Amino acid sequence: MTSASTNDIEFRSVAKRYGSVTAVSDINLAVPQGAFVALLGPSGCGKTTCLRMIGGFEQPSEGMVYIGGQPMNGVPAYRRPVNMVFQQYALFPHLDVEQNVAYGLKQMRPRAATAEIVRRTQEALEMVRLGGFGKRRIHEMSGGQQQRVALARAIVNKPKVLLLDEPLAALDKKLRTAMQIELQSLQRELGITFLLVTHDQEEALSMSDLVCVMSTGRVVQMGPPQEIYDRPASLFVADFVGKTNRIAATIEPGAGSVRLANGVGLSKPARANGTVGAAMVAVRPEAISLVRNGTATLQGTVTHRMFLGSTVEYSVEVEGLGDFLVTADRRNESELAEPGERIGLNFDPNAMHVFPA
């Protein structure tokens, strides 16, 4: 673990319990300064709980939380150098847009000069492209605009870390994509550390420098998006981040091979180090190619075809192994395979991820 001073946020063996419910446990986490980090995991895995312990709305039951190297246990939310964008925005309905955005600056001690507050408020509104909306009431703004107000209200304070709890969940797909790009460029521009909670793996992979995958109250893997996708640390990560095919297999000892449940033997991928015995093999759908003639690793029958535009998804049934999901890039295919067609499946043994069963 790197030293606390270079990390904007650090969790050391943090656990949080509500009565008999353990929300998170044994969390060790380091968010480097200036990074865009995504906290990714299924519903109820403890993402919000972690964020709230950083914001100061919850105190850890065990362990320590550091912000900028300072221990934060017991420090109330209003004395923490972080700001949060709430999922439901939590704008103040009785204040106008400008007053909402200026709120933090007015409360900060020492208080900035009024002219300075006005200038920074306008600047923040420009930044989220809401210049000229300052005098509007909150209920006169659309959902997407309210989202921007919430963002401006947080970034105007130039916090050490910006916490975002599923900020885009309530927006429609198009607006969400636009905001994803905007958030990313905003983060580059401001140089503020962003910690984004999401349960959308695409969002996490596309936006962040680092992804922290959580499951049932624990961190299961943390790393750059590519690493998470290409080298998942567990079957859970492989499944949750992107699509994957699971194949039951047995690993034979020594330099040996991977024997799939249907008896087919493949050479062991370089990464599958010590695993021996019953195992689960994961293969990404796009790592498999369909071949009409000639030799193939496996043989199967196409059962479904889903046309997705630039790619096509096939469901192929392989005797003894079940259904395979195969994603084919249309540029490499002269002709689509038809449901019912016998077809060969090919993949590089090195594309297999081997996990103990």
Ligand X SMILES: Nc1ncnc2c1ncn2[C@@H]1O[C@H](COP(=O)(O)OP(=O)(O)OP(=O)(O)O)[C@@H](O)[C@H]1O
Residue ranges that bind another protein, judged by CB under 8 A: 55-57, 76-79, 82-84, 86, 88, 90-94, 103-104, 107-109, 138-139, 153, 157
x-or-dash string of contact with ligand X, 185-214, rule CB under 6 A: --------------x---------------
Helix (H, G, I), strand (E, B) or coil at 47: helix
Q: State how beta strands 289-291 and 277-283 pair.
A: unpaired
Q: Is the CB of 93 or the CB of 294 nearer to another protein? A: 93
Residues 176 and 178: their CA atoms lie apart, in Å, by 5
Site for ligand X, residues 35 to 64, rule: CB under 6 A: 41, 43-49
Residues 248 and 150: their CA atoms lie apart, in Å, by 48
Q: Shortest distance, CB of residue 108 to another protein, whole angstroms?
A: 5
Q: Is the CB of 61 or the CB of 184 nearer to ligand X? A: 61
Q: Shortest distance, CB of residue 102 to another protein, whole angstroms?
A: 10
DSSP string, 119-175: HHHHHHHHHTT-TT-TT-BGGGS-HHHHHHHHHHHHHTT--SEEEEESTTTTS-HHH
Region binding Mg ion by CB under 5 A among candidate stretches 40-48, 63-71, 187-195, 330-338: 40-48
Is position 134 an interface residue for ligand X (rule: CB under 6 A)? no
- Give the residue at shortest CB distance from Mg ion: 48
Q: Shortest distance, CB of residue 47 to Mg ion, whole angstroms?
A: 5
Q: Is the CB of 42 or the CB of 322 nearer to ligand X? A: 42
Q: Please enumerate in sequence order all residues whose Cβ is within 8 A of that of 169, keeping only pairs 6 or more positions apart, or say none.
A: 87, 198
Q: Is the CB of 55 or the CB of 134 nearer to another protein? A: 55
Q: Shortest distance, CB of residue 67 to another protein, whole angstroms?
A: 13
Q: 14 with 63: CB under 8 angstroms?
A: yes
Q: Is the CB of 18 or the CB of 78 nearer to ligand X? A: 18
**230 burial via Cβ count (<10 Å: 0-12, 13-18, 19+):** middle
Is position 92 an interface residue for ligand X (rule: CB under 6 A)? no
Site for ligand X, residues 8 to 27, rule: CB under 6 A: 18, 21, 23
Q: Is the CB of 51 or the CB of 210 nearer to ligand X? A: 51
Q: Shortest distance, CB of residue 60 to ligand X, whole angstroms?
A: 13
Q: Is the CB of 41 or the CB of 104 nearer to ligand X? A: 41
DSSP 8-state code for residue 320: T
Phi-psi region of 89 (alpha: psi -120 to 50; beta: other; left: phi over 0): left
Q: 320 with 261: CB under 8 angstroms?
A: yes
**Of 129, 136, 203, which Cα lies nearest the Cα of 164?**
203
90 binds, among ligand X, another protein, Mg ion, none (CB under 5 to 8 A by kind): another protein
Q: Shortest distance, CB of residue 47 to ligand X, whole angstroms?
A: 4
Helix 114-127, helix 97-107: angle, nearest 10: 130
Q: Shortest distance, CB of residue 85 to another protein, whole angstroms?
A: 9
Is position 48 an interface residue for Mg ion (rule: CB under 5 A)? yes
Residues 185 and 207: their CA atoms lie apart, in Å, by 10
Q: 6 with 33: CB under 8 angstroms?
A: yes
Helix (H, G, I), strand (E, B) or coil at 108: coil
Question: Where does this chain bind ligand X (CB under 6 A)?
Answer: 18, 21, 23, 41, 43-49, 199
Question: Where does this chain bind Mg ion (CB under 5 A)?
Answer: 48
